[in-house]
């Protein structure tokens, strides 16, 4: 294993220090509690706090700034942040209009954010991200993992909070976005944990994993490697079959960290052709590495049906390390 690092145990803190120095105009880094917060808070807006294990960069720390998150807590690689980290972050960005936790649907994340809410003594509500396309009813969120749809929810809720909409309205928006957003990933290789030094799972040279999670969790099935158009059709069929809404949509093709952009754009081309056949009209698009799994080769497709209100919130200005437009 070849990695740019000094001691494996120091990789995370040295990386976050570098991130904080590179984006000091946008964020501040609390070293003792390991959270990043927006440099300039806005009085009177709902504070948005998210977080999770490291290894998914630029999620979540790269989504802190104008028009998205107010704070993000960073756990160890693929490990939830601790409740005391989350409490400290919430206290740091409380502007007096309540707080909203945005939490991916994993047991550790849900438990620690719930504990933090109870410990903080602050007015906090929670939005759960569960955008994975699975073979259950659209209303059943229990088995759906939070994937790259996390970015979509954080952007739209961030825009709504920037407009100083209230906590009740943000929760209603979270439900709408959650119902209209589905994701599915495909892994070509495993990822490698720096402190372990070997892949987290074995996958043959001629195989791929359909429906993989962002920590390398098993997917729907292990199949033989296929042509890009065939992969796109199967993924789109699964995503489209799990969605209630069609028509105008945001299409996010997200890399897992080890796939070059030339392949991600090829997959965007294949995905959009398949989506059009299935009744979607891509009106907004995003391609790149946003919700990664260290060095895993592969990508995910996220489709979010957008009505006029959600489209306007998506287009609102954003200025973070990872997303910037109209700012």
Q: Which residues are catalytic?
A: 56, 215
Report the distance separating Cα 141 and Cα 119, nearest Å.
Answer: 26
Compute CA distances 17 → 3, 34, 164, 308, whole Å: 18, 10, 31, 40
Compute CA distances 128 → 101, 106, 144, 174, 195, whole Å: 8, 9, 10, 8, 30
Instruction: Label residues 45-64 b or e (16+ Cβ within 10 Å = b).
Output: bbbbbbbbbbbbbbbbbbbb
Please name the helix (run of DSSP H) or strand (run of DSSP E) that holds residue 282, with its range, or none: strand 280-288
Q: Which residues contact 253 (CB under 8 A, 6 or more apart)?
A: 264, 265, 267, 268, 271, 285, 286, 287, 288, 299, 300, 301
Report the distance separating Cα 149 and Cα 132, nearest Å.
Answer: 8
């Amino acid at each position: 294993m070849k990695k740019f690092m000094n001691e494996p145990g120091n990789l995370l803190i040295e990386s976050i220090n570098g991130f904080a120095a590179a984006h000091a105009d946008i964020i501040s880094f609390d070293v003792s509690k390991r959270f990043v917060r927006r440099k300039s808070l806005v009085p009177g807006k709902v504070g948005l706090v998210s977080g999770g294990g490291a290894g998914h960069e630029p999620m979540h720390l790269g989504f802190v700034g104008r028009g998205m998150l107010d704070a993000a807590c960073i756990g160890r690689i693929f490990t939830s942040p601790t409740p005391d980290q989350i409490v400290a972050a919430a206290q740091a960005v409380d502007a007096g209009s309540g707080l909203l936790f945005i939490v991916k649907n994993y047991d550790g994340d849900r438990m620690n954010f719930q504990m933090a809410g109870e410990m903080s003594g602050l007015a906090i509500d929670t939005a759960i991200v569960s955008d994975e396309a699975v073979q259950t009813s659209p209303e059943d969120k229990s088995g759906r993992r939070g994937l790259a749809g996390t970015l979509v929810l954080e952007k739209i809720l961030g825009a709504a909070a920037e407009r100083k909409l209230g906590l009740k309205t943000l929760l209603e928006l979270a439900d709408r976005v959650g119902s209209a957003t589905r994701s599915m990933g495909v892994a070509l290789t495993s990822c490698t944990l720096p402190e372990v030094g070997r892949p987290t799972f074995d996958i043959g040279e001629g195989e791929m994993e359909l429906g993989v999670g962002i920590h390398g969790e098993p997917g729907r099935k292990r199949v033989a490697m296929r042509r890009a158009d065939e992969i796109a059709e199967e993924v789109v069929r699964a995503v489209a079959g799990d969605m209630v809404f069609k028509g105008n949509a945001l299409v996010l093709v997200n890399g897992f960290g080890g796939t070059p952009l030339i392949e991600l754009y090829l997959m965007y081309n294949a995905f959009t052709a398949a989506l059009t056949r299935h009744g979607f009209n891509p009106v907004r698009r995003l391609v790149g590495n946003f919700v990664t799994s260290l060095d895993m080769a592969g990508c995910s497709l996220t489709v979010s049906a957008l009505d006029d209100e959600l489209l306007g919130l998506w287009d609102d200005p954003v200025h973070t390390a990872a997303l910037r437009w109209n700012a």
